[in-house]
Amino acid sequence: MQSGSGKASMKDNVRDLGLFGGVPAFHDKLLVGRPNPGDRDVFMQRMSSVLDSGWYTHHGPLLQDLEQRIADLAEVEHCVMVANGTSGLELVLRAANLSGEVIMPSMTFIATAHSVRMHGLTPVFCDIDPDTGCIDPAEVERLITPRTSAILGVHLFGQPCAIDELRKIADANGLMLYFDAAHGLGCTAEQTPIGGFGQAEVFSLHTTKVVNSFEGGAVVTNDGDLAAEVRSLHCFGHGPDNVVRRVGTNAKLSEAAAAMGLTSLEAMPDSIAANERNYHHYREELADVPGIDLLTYDPANRNNFQYVVTKVDESVHGLRRDALLALLYAENVVAQRYFSPCCHEFEPYRSEHPVTLPRTEEMSKKVLTLPTGPSINREHIAGIGELLRTAVKYGNEITSRWLELA
């Protein structure tokens, strides 16, 4: 048995695997997206200033600072911090006063679809580019109807959508174009930061993200009118004169959350550097593992390497993706199925708007995301690599025994 900081011991037969009674390879759980608090002393100093000031929420000085820093990072004119990325997507939709249908991918977290449905619009699920998992512009064009009001792209795993193609389609059809950029903070489309594309983009600062504010999100845009609407809507519908002018909600971010956001943002360069090192270590480890293919990122774009994504090809080794997931869990390697099932496979969408998306479903059956982040080191990755080599070596046997356990 190994400590959480060391390399896993060799497991070269099935009976040694934790799934079948063996000792877990790692003592501590290795996670996808373990929170990175940054400099704790700096965070506590910021929290002390919040407590001393008595200004705990409602657009305090730390939040104003965080908004400006994220706007600068994304090279946009406006940033409105919100309670979470989901509320940011909802507020953009409400601010734009849309109705009808929104074309979007299904290969995304369910919040993307719910943000559309919550406000009475219909998500129309679109198939993907099989290489990236991002929305396919040709399929978008095919799905446009008189009821279509917007296109919602997702920069999946920090990869930019086919932005120019989507922009041309939106402009030609008079549609709004906006983006779920939950994974995109610190990423670029070639040399341009993600954040300024379309009418608006929405970042997530959830605790698992490369920059976190415990819970939080950011709406970024170069559209001053849209930013003003979002700012009003996220604070009960108040205008700049503090007079309520519309129905709004409470989606503000607290000063405590902003303190964490600022501290985490300052740690972002080190976090991304650690992620990138881990990604390249995984590339080395998985190079000789058949049927475990690492998703590669276009070097023309800067990525935050927040996700190490693999595709598990059962046809190569007989190992089912979910059997491998169970195997890794039993070794305290907490991998994730991002994103499986996909949105169109959940209720209410699968009953109300059944659709077949061959490329989405094919990717969804294979995808498995491995632990990374500053808490993961080369020794961990070497241990995970050994587990994966053993798993594919005995793929058929492991799948058969896993099915007996299920």
| DSSP of 96-157 | HT--SEEEEESSS-HHHHHHHHTTT-EEEEE-B-TTT-SB-HHHHHHH--TTEEEEEEE-GG
Report the relative pairing of strands 192-193 and 188-189 from DSSP bridges. antiparallel
Q: Do 95 and 211 share a domain, yes or no?
A: yes
Please check whether residue 366 lies inside any domain of the structure. Answer: no
Q: Do 20 and 82 share a domain, yes or no?
A: no
pLDDT of residue 4: 45
Q: Do 28 and 162 share a domain, yes or no?
A: no
Q: Do 133 and 220 share a domain, yes or no?
A: yes
Q: Do 150 and 86 share a domain, yes or no?
A: yes
Please check whether residue 352 lies inside any domain of the structure. Answer: no
Please check whether residue 384 lies inside any domain of the structure. Answer: yes
Please check whether residue 357 lies inside any domain of the structure. Answer: no
- The amino acid present at 403, given as its one-letter code, is L
Q: Do 198 and 303 share a domain, yes or no?
A: no
Tell me, what CATH number does 192's domain have?
3.40.640.10
Note the helical H segments in 267-370: 268-286, 314-317, 321-330, 349-352, 358-366
pLDDT of residue 302: 98
Please check whether residue 360 lies inside any domain of the structure. Answer: no
pLDDT of residue 10: 74
**Residue 95 sits in which domain range?**
40-266
Of 238, 266, 294, which residue constitutes the final position of a domain?
266
Q: Do 316 and 184 share a domain, yes or no?
A: no
Q: Do 134 and 234 share a domain, yes or no?
A: yes
Would the CA dihedral through 158, 161, 163, 164 be positive or negative? positive
pLDDT, tens digit only, all 406 positions of the chain? 344 444 556 788 899 999 999 999 999 999 998 998 899 999 999 999 999 999 999 999 999 999 999 999 999 999 999 999 999 999 999 999 999 999 999 999 999 999 999 999 999 999 999 999 999 999 999 999 999 999 999 999 999 999 999 999 999 999 999 999 999 999 999 999 999 999 999 999 999 999 999 999 999 999 999 999 999 999 999 998 889 999 999 999 999 999 999 999 999 999 999 999 999 999 999 999 999 999 999 999 999 999 999 999 999 999 999 999 999 999 999 999 999 999 999 999 999 999 999 999 999 999 999 999 999 999 999 999 999 999 999 999 999 999 999 8
Domains: count for the chain: 2
Q: Do 28 and 46 share a domain, yes or no?
A: no
- Nearest in space to 60 (alpha carbons), one of 254, 204, 260, 234: 254
Tell me, what CATH number does 322's domain have?
3.90.1150.10
pLDDT of residue 1: 39
Q: Do 23 and 146 share a domain, yes or no?
A: no
Of 206, 240, 266, which residue constitutes the final position of a domain?
266
Residue 151 dihedral angles phi and psi, to the nearest 5°: -115, 130
Please check whether residue 2 lies inside any domain of the structure. Answer: no
Please check whether residue 361 lies inside any domain of the structure. Answer: no
Please check whether residue 59 lies inside any domain of the structure. Answer: yes
Q: Do 216 and 329 share a domain, yes or no?
A: no
pLDDT of residue 258: 98
Question: How many CB atoms lie under 10 A from the CB of residue 283?
Answer: 13
- Nearest in space to 367 (alpha carbons), one of 317, 297, 293: 293
CA dist 284 and 281 (Å) reads 5
Q: Do 400 and 284 share a domain, yes or no?
A: yes
Local structure of 403: helix, strand or coil: helix
Of 234, 266, 298, which residue constitutes the final position of a domain?
266
